[in-house]
Amino acid sequence: MRSDYLLGNNGLNNISFFSPVQDGLQETEALVRSQSYGAHPDLGAALEHLLSSGGKRIRPALALLVGQMLGAPRDKITTLAAAVELLHNATLVHDDLIDGALLRRGNPTLNARWTPPATVLTGDFIFARAAKLAADTDHLPLMKLFAETLAVIVNGELTQLFSARGLTSRENYYKRIYAKTASLIEMTTRTSAMISPVDESVIESMRVYGYNLGMAFQIVDDVLDFTGEQAEVGKPVGSDLLQGLVTLPAIYYAEAHPDDPDVICLTSGCYSEHERMERLVLAVGKSSGVKKSLEEAEGYIRKALHPLEGMPDCIERQALHDLARYIVTRKI
């Protein structure tokens, strides 16, 4: 499952780190909506569905905050923010189709309402519009990074698809969450710096911020999968493990309890024994694996905050700081 939750479109609008970019987010949304002009009406309906399904808009907010902080031209920031949000949504559309997921953020997925062929093509169309917007920033290195990041995300998904389910190493886990989540967030903050009038060291600082934020974001996501309430996170507790996807809290639990029969079962690949896996979900949720994982996320956040210190002192920097703190304290 991806790092998105049940949350209304405006669910985070009152949180302080969104306030410097309220206008920018509205402009971004308008630009996203306009991408279906002239295309088949059902594509407009699909974009509308995706927009109204909510999602935190953390990626466009990051693009806007970094760009505003560093003095990028307003139109380029908005274009980049829309491109990133569309790329993210295109991968989600195909992802939901692949998972056979019927709900995302508590709302029906496109997949639940459309035929698979229409869903494949809608994802492709959104990719195409994302690529066009990325090109509209008139920045070739950005365009290349954009294409490379898509390749990293898709390669990660394919690797996950082709890998045997069951216990995995921490190393593989980090690779997976980089491809799945951190790569796009890293690209977002990095490219937003790239369109700004700043030197290479600032671009690198913003890349480091995004990378660490993204890693922490997915680890917390994976913790909440064990500790969250279904009503809050919009999916069943332990849904990853129940599908045989082993995340950091479970890896820590397995390391600490190698003789637990359910862990042995997981190692040998029998994750399809539902009762065992449900028991394991409860055990992991109460274990020190949760705390250890959150400590790791905290470590990533510290590494994210460090490069912020050298940035201009402004409300956007404060917002980027608050956003990073929110990542590890959130409950949904």
Task: Summarize as ranges the residues that interact with its own copies (CB under 8 A).
Answer: 39-40, 42-43, 91, 94, 97-98, 116-118, 120-125, 127-129, 131-132, 134-136, 138, 140, 143-144, 146-148, 150-151, 154-155, 157-159, 161-162
Q: Between 43 and 202, whose beta carbon lies closer to its own copies?
A: 43
Q: Between 179 and 213, whose beta carbon lies closer to its own copies?
A: 179
Is residue 126 classed exposed, middle or buried when 0-12, 13-18 and 19+ CB atoms within 10 A define those classes? Answer: buried
Is there a contact between 159 and 172 (Cβ–Cβ < 8 Å)? no
Nearest approach in angstroms of CB 117 to its own copies is: 4
Taking CA atoms, 180 is separated from 44, 114, 156, 184, 211, in Å, by: 27, 25, 6, 8, 12
Nearest approach in angstroms of CB 34 to its own copies is: 13
Q: Between 186 and 296, whose beta carbon lies closer to its own copies?
A: 186
Nearest approach in angstroms of CB 168 to its own copies is: 15
Nearest approach in angstroms of CB 170 to its own copies is: 20
Taking CA atoms, 83 is separated from 19, 129, 156, in Å, by: 21, 8, 21
Q: Are strands 103-104 and 107-108 parallel, antiparallel or unpaired?
A: antiparallel
Q: Between 38 and 197, whose beta carbon lies closer to its own copies?
A: 38
Q: Between 123 and 249, whose beta carbon lies closer to its own copies?
A: 123
CA distance 73 to 67: 8
Q: Between 188 and 287, whose beta carbon lies closer to its own copies?
A: 188
Nearest approach in angstroms of CB 283 to its own copies is: 30
Nearest approach in angstroms of CB 228 to its own copies is: 26
**Given the structure tokens 């003789």, which residue do they identify?**
259
Helix (H, G, I), strand (E, B) or coil at 107: strand
Closest CA relative to residue 187, chosen from 85, 93, 92: 85
